[in-house]
């Protein structure tokens, strides 16, 4: 694509009006192709956001003339931003022109069949109908391509549901891996809390004996040390949440990535912190509650 003394290498697609409905892709500035322009193979183009910013910067591309393979095209519209696909492809780095124009004036028609196209996008009304739609499309294409029953397909059908399922499976594996790493971290942190509480019980043995001597019961001592363990783990959880939030916002700011921190995730983090405190603090608390008051007072 060439505009003035600037050029940009991008993807070019010849499309019909139904393409925009199927892809749910709107024009944010300008207009779509008209039926007259499609039937007359007019030299008009719609630009993706990446192409528009690369060729025109902050300027208005509408009405400007760009050259595509040395053919002049008038820009009539600017496509809405789509962003990247899950495979990292920039969907906004594209230029759309009428299918008739692409065949007659830019890309050329297939010598084998002038009606053939590179790809067909199909939008199914309901997700549960994807399987039936795929079978019907396969049957129709085999009929149009005049394939016998013993011949393999000379085309490919890509079902985005299968792609989504594959991505979800990969996401589950990654989630399990992160959960395993988090479990090891929780185990190490819990053991640390247990060691600290055991040392605390040892150092405060005389204090425990004195409290029991003046009327404190075993469950009072148990509750005291459990509260201390939970408080210790919650403080650590609060520090971890603060570091996590700070890290996510820093990544979003410097790497220009979108991040989402849900309230449920923060609440779950605090809940796990409390659970770790109770689980690993119970043994030291029980040990403190089981001390004999006389032996505890004599402890040096």
pLDDT at 77: 92
Q: Could you report the per-residue pLDDT of 139-165, keeping only the tens digit for each?
A: 998 998 888 888 888 888 887 777 777
pLDDT at 43: 93
Q: What is the spatial distance between Cα 300 and Cα 294, in angstroms, rounded to a whole number? A: 12
Structure token pair of residue 249: 């916002």
Q: Could you report the per-residue pLDDT of 63-111, keeping only the tens digit for each?
A: 999 999 889 999 999 999 888 776 677 888 999 999 999 888 888 777 6
Which has the closest alpha carbon to 273: 233, 243, 232? 233
pTM of the model: 0.56
pLDDT at 79: 92
CB count within 10 Å of CB 280 equals 23
Q: What is the dihedral of CA 211, 215, 219, 225, to 10 degrees?
A: -20
Rg for the chain, CA atoms, rounded? 33
Which whole number is the average pLDDT over 39-53? 92
DSSP letter string over 54-106? Answer: HHHTTS--TT-EEEETTEEEEEEEEEPP--B-TTS-BTTSEEEEEHHHIIIII
Q: What is the spatial distance between Cα 261 and Cα 240, in angstroms, rounded to a whole number? A: 14
Q: Could you report the per-residue pLDDT of 195-233, keeping only the tens digit for each?
A: 888 888 888 888 888 888 888 888 888 888 888 888 888
Confidence of residue 300 (pLDDT cuts 50, 70, 90): low
Q: What is the spatial distance between Cα 1 and Cα 68, in angstroms, rounded to a whole number? A: 5
Q: Could you report the per-residue pLDDT of 160-184, keeping only the tens digit for each?
A: 777 777 778 888 898 899 888 888 8
CB count within 10 Å of CB 190 equals 18
Which whole number is the average pLDDT over 279-288? 83
Checking if the pLDDT of 46 tops 90, the result is: yes
pLDDT at 64: 92
- CA distances, 185 to each of 102, 137, 176, 189 (Å): 58, 51, 14, 6
Structure token pair of residue 145: 């391509």
pLDDT at 42: 92
pLDDT at 111: 62
pLDDT at 47: 93
Checking if the pLDDT of 255 tops 90, the result is: no
Measured in degrees and rounded to the nearest 5, phi and psi for residue 274 equal -65, -40
Top pLDDT among 51 and 128 is at 51
Contact 79, 91 (CB under 8 A): no
pLDDT at 78: 93
pLDDT at 200: 81
Checking if the pLDDT of 258 tops 80, the result is: no
pLDDT at 146: 87
Which has the closest alpha carbon to 280: 238, 218, 241, 226? 226
């Amino acid at each position: 694509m060439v505009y003035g003394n600037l050029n940009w290498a991008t993807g070019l697609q010849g499309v019909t009006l139904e393409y925009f409905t199927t892809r749910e892709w709107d024009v944010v500035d300008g207009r779509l192709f008209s039926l007259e322009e499609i039937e007359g193979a007019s030299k008009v183009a719609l630009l993706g956001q990446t192409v528009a910013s690369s060729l025109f910067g902050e300027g208005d591309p509408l009405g400007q003339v760009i050259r595509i393979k040395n053919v002049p095209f008038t820009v009539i519209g600017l496509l809405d931003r789509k962003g990247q696909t899950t495979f990292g492809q920039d969907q906004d780095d594209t230029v759309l022109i009428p299918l008739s124009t692409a065949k007659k004036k830019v890309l050329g028609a297939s010598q084998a069949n002038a009606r053939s196209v590179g790809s067909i996008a199909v939008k199914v009304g309901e997700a549960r109908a994807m399987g039936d739609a795929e079978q019907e499309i396969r049957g129709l294409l085999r009929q149009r391509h005049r394939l016998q029953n013993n011949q393999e397909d000379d085309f490919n059908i890509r079902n985005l549901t299968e792609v989504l399922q594959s991505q979800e499976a990969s996401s589950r594996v990654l989630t399990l891996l992160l959960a395993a790493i988090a479990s090891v971290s929780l185990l190490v942190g819990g053991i640390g809390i247990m060691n600290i509480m055991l040392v605390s019980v040892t150092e405060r043995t005389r204090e425990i004996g004195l409290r029991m001597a003046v009327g404190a019961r075993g469950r009072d001592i148990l509750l005291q040390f459990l509260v201390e363990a939970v408080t210790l783990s919650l403080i650590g959880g609060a520090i971890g949440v603060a570091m996590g939030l700070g890290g996510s916002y820093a990544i979003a700011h410097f790497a220009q990535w979108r991040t989402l921190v849900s309230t449920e995730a923060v609440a779950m983090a605090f809940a796990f912190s409390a659970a770790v405190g109770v689980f690993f603090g119970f043994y030291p608390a029980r040990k403190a509650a089981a001390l004999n008051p006389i032996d505890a007072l004599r402890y040096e």
